[in-house]
Structure 1
Amino acid sequence: MNTPMAGLVAAAAAVQGAWRVSDPGEFTDEQLLATNTALGVLRRRTEAAQAQIAAQLAARSRPGSGPESLARKTGHTSVVDLISTTTGATTGEAMRLVKVGQATAPRPTFGDTPAPPAHPAVGVAVAADRLPVAAAEQIIRLLDRLPASIPADRKTQAEERLVAKLSGLPSDRWHRILVEAHAALDPEGLARREAEVHARRYLRIWEKDQAVHFEGAADAATAAPLVTVLDALVTTSFRTSTDTSGSAADTADTGNVGSSVDADHDGDPGDGTRTDSTGADGTGAAGDTADAAVAAAMLDERTVAQRRLDALMILCRHYLDCAHTGEPTGGATVIVRVNMDDLQEGTGTGTIDGLDQPISIDTIRRIGGTGPVIPMYLGPNKEVLDLGRSQRLFTPAQKLVLYERDGGCAFCGAPPGHTRAHHIYWWARDKGRTDLANGILLCETCHHRIHDNGWDIRIDPAPGARRNATTGPGAHVWFIPPARIDPTRTPRLGGRARHEYAA
């Protein structure tokens, strides 16, 4: 029995074993999770096998083969048409199967011995059920676009790193890692691509069907102020909705009521101290507070897209009414991050908080001193602030330092503008300090997810760090699931180390 077939048989058997009753509505939570996992494995195994078959179909239907083309013999115009028609896949999905299959199969030569696959690491990961075909296709596309001047060994290392990074991540987190990888591998090309995008920037406004329509595109540096301000206004609108109830306002104000995360006092790797999910007074009030916050937020039924448009209108009205001195964005600022050595030497790249696309050193030098922009220069002697228990809320300066370690929501990777700094040890219940070592960035959704489900958090210090070793970019954040989710309670990596390519 060949390997692809063995994998399919094993995956199908796992589904059969997990699906113990005919009606999924009668599954226990454990059975439902096990069946979903087994179906996911079967789907990925099926796609991996389909990619191998697609490569062979393409080889026997290549252009120029005339009547001998297998696709034409079966009445199809192309191999993509054949696959799409017979499997029910879309044209895009069929093209993806062909691309991945061809890139991970041995390449024909003029001799008897085929050449190794163009992307062996991707092929191994797909065959081993560690990487879905969709992720494999994006890695292949990126690597194939790189200039020929980049050494082959560097491309090989990048392929292996991308496979490790994208394995196990949801698809909406791939883009950030891929664009960072592209910039890291081809920083000279980044400035050229930025200039091309900047030259094509536009905003169209037209009227149709009693509506005003908007369409536009811009490079990251041009769009950063707009994205930053709109995100701040949208986040504020959600918090305002939540604050309509007294108890909910308390949660939104501190960001710590009801948090069920704890830290590992003795620093023993893999040993998280689990806490219960009751409130600070042990009565379960925190759960009620979270429920009240969610219920209050639901009173405003605008979608995120609607809130974003309304935020843009707020900005326009604010501009028209210059006498209004309020600060509608809550002091939102564009943060540009760059390594000091890179800035001085003119190498490498930088980032803008809230945007996935890296920016070139040339662009950073151009925008670093303009507008509401704060440049953050990173280096080995970065100053870190610790405020102990002198105040409850983390300061903006502390949050900037936490951004360096977490990159946004440490759990899901959401942009920094969607997060708040939370205490790992609770302020009230555990007498937790408002120190960077006790802080973590979480979006509201993940904060409540961790609270409601009893997750623990552990911070591993950065190797060799002398001061505040848990806050620098080299520190690693680990989320430890409760036993009912993972009986082994295996820690799961978070922060930049999980959600960024270069971390």
Structure 2
Amino acid sequence: MAEALPDFSGLTALMSSCAPSSSAFSALDDRALVDAVEAITALRHEVERAQALAAAEIVRRSKVAFGLHGLAQRNGHANAGELLQSITHSSKRETIALVGVGRMVAETEAAAELELARRDDPELAALVPEPVAPWFSELSRPMASGVLTVAVADAIRSGLGEPGGEADEPALASALASVLTSVMAESRGLHADAARRLARQARDRIDAAGVAARSEHQREQQFWRVWVKPDGMVRGEFELDAESGMLVKAVFDQLTHPRRTAAPVRRGFGDPVRGDAAFADARVTRERDAAEGLVQLLRAGASVDPTRVLNDKKPSVRLVVNADSLSTGDGSGIIEGHPDRIPIVDIHTGLCEGYLPVLFDDDGACLDLGRDERLFTDRQKAAIAVRDGGCLDPECTRPPSWTEAHHIDHWQRDGGRTDLADGILLCRRDHLRYHNQGWEVRRTGTNYWLIPPAGVDPEQTPRLMRPKTPADIINPVDPTRVALAQAHAPVPAPAPVAATAPECEFSAAG
């Protein structure tokens, strides 16, 4: 018997009668406004779930085998995708995601229904082979039940990719189980981009050949184009492979780092420009400086003195790999600040050029360099940058080059130590927000927890701060050890403290 769908018949009439406008929401207080958005979002996700299942049925009824009698063809469309896009007014990418998730659920349910029918009918069981559940079936069920949204389910599926290379169906099923464990362990849930990154990392862990193939494909696809515009300006564009591109990005980040524009921007006499106008002016200034710096670098070539252009720091790209992977040749590595893996052979090439090695213990913690100083040293910052992989705030994706070292135990207030275990990376925006609004960070073993101020969360529920560096890069022998330790780590009890002035150093840790 078909499952009863939620009743959406009155939804259109309800929305029309309410006629929501911006004034309706401006009258709400902060808590009521957040609650309203959460309720609307929950409703949207429920509608999308039903929409995905209906889209899969439209695809089934529009198969090429039906010819002109297919549902899409009878409605004047070449295929189901065009029909759906005309109905939903979505982008092509959104339509493909909707169809893909709907098919995934439909295939899983079809296999389960066939197995049930074989159990109830011995004659059918003798004629029809036992169905094999699709490798993605464990993803279909939480999506169909509403535990996962359509966007997150599509992100996980696309991040894991299709079977191929060293990633056969059993391996992908195992990787999917690991991803779902991490996703379900997040009390606040992961958004689609974070889920895709997590799934992409899981695929790379089991498919080193795929990492090498992707790297080679990127090299073949590189290009740099330059042309003269009608107004006389010279414009260009390029795409580079991960390693080359991150070197260019390191140069760009140094030329455009916000700390390079410390003083307020002035447009002439009078008060300095502040607010949005100051931010816009600072951005334009940084980009103009970057353009001038690019010209200087190209003009000077290999003989350039980096201290003349790059604020006394030579741009660098760190290749991160576990020592065991490096010695055995198994696995892969990453480029600091880049989400994708690179082959071990590229790691060996990079190490010949003098990249900084960083050591980890069996639990995935950076080894302390043993310097008891007020400020973190450059080598300590480098180690923290590799460990954290960027700003450690759960909602932030800024790379290591835009971060600063933060003492989780304040130097003066808490008697904090300048040790690797007691320092994390935060971008300047989050660094200032933590200090100004009273956010705290606690550590249990190698895990870091963000404690919100009472004004944001009256219960001050700790939030796990996950590093952006994949766990298996640090510990390839048992990559699930870190993930399981995070999932089952003891949550620290909230310990509110009085807000004080910032005590951490504010200098780039990249």
Same fold (TM over 0.5): yes
Q: More displaced, 130-139 or 80-89? A: 130-139
Verify: 1:145 aligned to 2:162, yes or no.
yes
Aligned to 1:146, the other structure's residue is in SS state coil
Paired with 2:284 and 2:63, the residues of 1 have a C-alpha distance of 51
Verify: 1:90 aligned to 2:91, yes or no.
yes
Which amino acid counterpart does residue 407 of structure 1 have in structure 2? G
Paired with 1:306 and 1:322, the residues of 2 have a C-alpha distance of 20
Q: More displaced, 206-215 or 296-305? A: 296-305
Which amino acid counterpart does residue 183 of structure 1 have in structure 2? D
> Which residue does 1:77 correspond to in 2?
78
Aligned residues: 436
Flag the 1:148–1:331 CA change in 2: closer, same or farther, 3 A: closer
Verify: 1:194 aligned to 2:215, yes or no.
yes
Q: Which runs of 5+ in 1 are unaligned?
A: 246-291, 462-474
Task: Return the offset for 1:405.
Answer: 3.4
> Which residue does 1:220 correspond to in 2?
242
Flag the 1:53–1:435 CA change in 2: closer, same or farther, 3 A: same
> Which residue does 1:315 correspond to in 2?
297
> Which residue does 1:276 correspond to in 2?
none
C-alpha root-mean-square deviation of aligned residues, in Å?
3.8
**Contact 1:204/1:216 (<8 A) preserved:** yes
**Contact 2:306/2:314 (<8 A) preserved:** no
> Which residue does 2:349 correspond to in 1?
366
> Which residue does 2:262 correspond to in 1?
242
For residues 91-170 of structure 1, the aligned pairs below 5 Å read: 91-106=92-107, 108=110, 116=133, 119-147=136-164, 149-165=166-182, 168-170=189-191
**Contact 2:160/2:202 (<8 A) preserved:** no
Verify: 1:65 aligned to 2:42, yes or no.
no
Aligned to 2:107, the other structure's residue is in SS state coil
Task: Return the offset for 1:20.
Answer: 13
Verify: 1:440 aligned to 2:424, yes or no.
yes
Paired with 2:317 and 2:452, the residues of 1 have a C-alpha distance of 34
Paired with 1:310 and 1:163, the residues of 2 have a C-alpha distance of 47
> Which residue does 1:487 correspond to in 2?
458
Which amino acid counterpart does residue 197 of structure 1 have in structure 2? Q
Task: Return the offset for 1:377.
Answer: 4.9
Flag the 1:310–1:373 CA change in 2: closer, same or farther, 3 A: farther
For residues 23-422 of structure 1, the aligned pairs below 5 Å read: 23-106=24-107, 108=110, 116=133, 119-147=136-164, 149-165=166-182, 168-174=189-195, 176-209=197-230, 210-235=232-257, 238-243=258-263, 299-302=281-284, 309=291, 311-316=293-298, 319=301, 322=304, 325-326=307-308, 328-329=310-311, 330-370=313-353, 373-380=355-362, 383-388=367-372, 390-391=373-374, 393-411=375-393, 412-422=396-406
Q: TM-score, normalization: structure 2?
A: 0.74
Paired with 1:89 and 1:410, the residues of 2 have a C-alpha distance of 34
**Contact 1:459/1:476 (<8 A) preserved:** yes
Identity %: 30
Task: Return the offset for 1:99.
Answer: 1.0
Which amino acid counterpart does residue 243 of structure 2 have in structure 1? A
Flag the 1:322–1:482 CA change in 2: closer, same or farther, 3 A: closer
**Contact 1:403/1:441 (<8 A) preserved:** yes
Paired with 2:228 and 2:22, the residues of 1 have a C-alpha distance of 55
Q: Deviations over 1:188-245 (max 9, x none)?
A: 221122122213322111222333222222222222322222222222xx11223559
> Which residue does 1:457 correspond to in 2?
441
> Which residue does 1:250 correspond to in 2?
none
Aligned to 2:148, the other structure's residue is in SS state coil
Aligned to 1:496, the other structure's residue is in SS state coil
**Contact 2:166/2:209 (<8 A) preserved:** no
**Contact 2:450/2:464 (<8 A) preserved:** yes
Q: More displaced, 425-434 or 323-332? A: 323-332
Given the alignment, which residue of 465, 471, 477 partners 2:448? 477
Which amino acid counterpart does residue 131 of structure 1 have in structure 2? L
Which amino acid counterpart does residue 222 of structure 1 have in structure 2? S
Q: Deviations over 1:167-194 (max 9, x none)?
A: 7334454554344233212112211221
Q: Deviations over 1:241-291 (max 9, x none)?
A: 23559xxxxxxxxxxxxxxxxxxxxxxxxxxxxxxxxxxxxxxxxxxxxxx
Paired with 1:221 and 1:103, the residues of 2 have a C-alpha distance of 35
Aligned to 1:376, the other structure's residue is in SS state coil
Which structure has more RCO (C-alpha within 8 Å, separation ≥ 6)?
1
**Contact 1:337/1:350 (<8 A) preserved:** yes
> Which residue does 1:424 correspond to in 2?
408
Paired with 1:293 and 1:426, the residues of 2 have a C-alpha distance of 30
Paired with 2:300 and 2:175, the residues of 1 have a C-alpha distance of 46
Task: Return the offset for 1:343.
Answer: 0.8
Task: Return the offset for 1:317.
Answer: 5.3
Task: Return the offset for 1:364.
Answer: 0.6
Which amino acid counterpart does residue 79 of structure 1 have in structure 2? A
> Which residue does 1:287 correspond to in 2?
none
Q: Deviations over 1:408-457 (max 9, x none)?
A: 11102421111110112223444433222331110011112323333221
Q: Which runs of 5+ in 2 are unaligned?
A: 119-130, 266-273, 473-478, 484-510
Paired with 2:436 and 2:3, the residues of 1 have a C-alpha distance of 45
**Contact 2:54/2:102 (<8 A) preserved:** yes
Q: TM-score, normalization: structure 1?
A: 0.75
Paired with 1:337 and 1:98, the residues of 2 have a C-alpha distance of 38
**Contact 2:167/2:203 (<8 A) preserved:** no
